[in-house]
Structure 1
C-alpha cells in the first residue's frame, strides 16, 4: 500500500483546526500536513510554504478550502506547471475522514461524494422523522 501525503491548505488557520478535529476523532495522523495562508501572505509566500512539504518521491493529495481562492489557485498553477498532485476544493471533515478511511483499508473512495453527503439540513431530517412518527 502506498501511503499518500495529504496536505490541507486554507485561508487562515482553518486547515489546522480541521486537522485537530480529524485527530480528535481518528487519533494522530502522521501523513497530514497543513499550510495556512495568513493575512500577510501573498500567493508566492503560500507557494513557498507549500513546497516545504513536497518531495519528488511523494504521492500527494491536496485539499483546499474553496475553489477560486488563493490556496486553490496556487496549487492549480503548480499542477499546470507539471507537478503531479490530486487537488480537491471544498474540504470538509467528512471528506477528510473518507480519505483517511480509504487509505487505512487500501481502497479508492469518492471524497467529493462523501463530503457532499455530509452536508444536510438537519431540520428536514427532524421534520421527516416527526412525520413518520405521526403516521
Structure 2
C-alpha cells in the first residue's frame, strides 16, 4: 500500500486527514501528517519527515502531498523525492487526498496521477441551481 504523508503549514494537514477519514469511514493507517510552523527549524522538520516516510514505506513507495508550491512544506517534500519511490505533489486539497487514498493500493505512479487528477477535477464552478456544478475552464 502506498504511504501518504501530508506536509502543510499549521494544522491544514490534520484537518484534511480528519475530513478524509470522515468521508471514507475507515481507519487510514498508511496516512501521516506533518505540520510545519513558522518557528520550526526546516532541517529538523526534514529529519522528522524522513522518519515518517520510513514508517510509511512498506516497499510500495510514498506520496508526499504539500500545500503551496515553493513554501517550506513543499521545499521539505522536494528534498525527499526519490523518483519511483518517493514522489511529491503540491496543492493538496480534500479531493486530491481522497482520490489518493482510494487508489493507494495501486502502484505509486498511478497514485501520483490520481492525486493530480483528483486535485484538478475537484475544482468546480458551481452554477446557481445546479447541484452538479460546471467545470471551470
TM-score by length of 1: 0.79
The equivalent residue for 1:14 is 12
* Deviation by residue 1:46-71 (Cα, 9 ceiling, x = unmatched): 11221221327541110001110111
Relative to structure 1, the CA distance from residue 38 to residue 128 in structure 2 (aligned partners, 3 Å threshold; closer, same or farther) is: closer
* Unaligned residue ranges in structure 1 (runs of 5+): 130-135
What CA distance in whole angstroms lies between the structure 1 residues aligned with 2:84 and 2:102?
26
Aligned match for 1:116, one of 103, 120, 123: 120
Greater C-alpha radius of gyration? 1
The equivalent residue for 1:68 is 70
The equivalent residue for 1:132 is none
The equivalent residue for 1:79 is 81
TM-score by length of 2: 0.77
Query: How far did residue 33 of structure 1 move?
Result: 0.3
* Unaligned residue ranges in structure 2 (runs of 5+): 132-137
Query: How far did residue 127 of structure 1 move?
Result: 6.2
The equivalent residue for 1:4 is 2
2:81 match: secondary structure? helix
Aligned residues: 123
**Match runs of 1:1-135 below 5 Å:** 3-26=1-24, 27-55=26-54, 58=59, 59-79=61-81, 84-104=85-105, 106=106, 108=110, 109-122=113-126, 125-126=127-128
- Please identify which structure carries the higher helix content: 1
Query: How far did residue 78 of structure 1 move?
Result: 3.0
Tell me, yes or no, if the aligned pair for 2:9 and 2:73 is still in contact at 8 Å. yes
Query: CA RMSD for the aligned pairs?
Result: 2.4
What CA distance in whole angstroms lies between the structure 2 residues aligned with 1:35 and 1:115?
20
What CA distance in whole angstroms lies between the structure 1 residues aligned with 2:121 and 2:92?
13
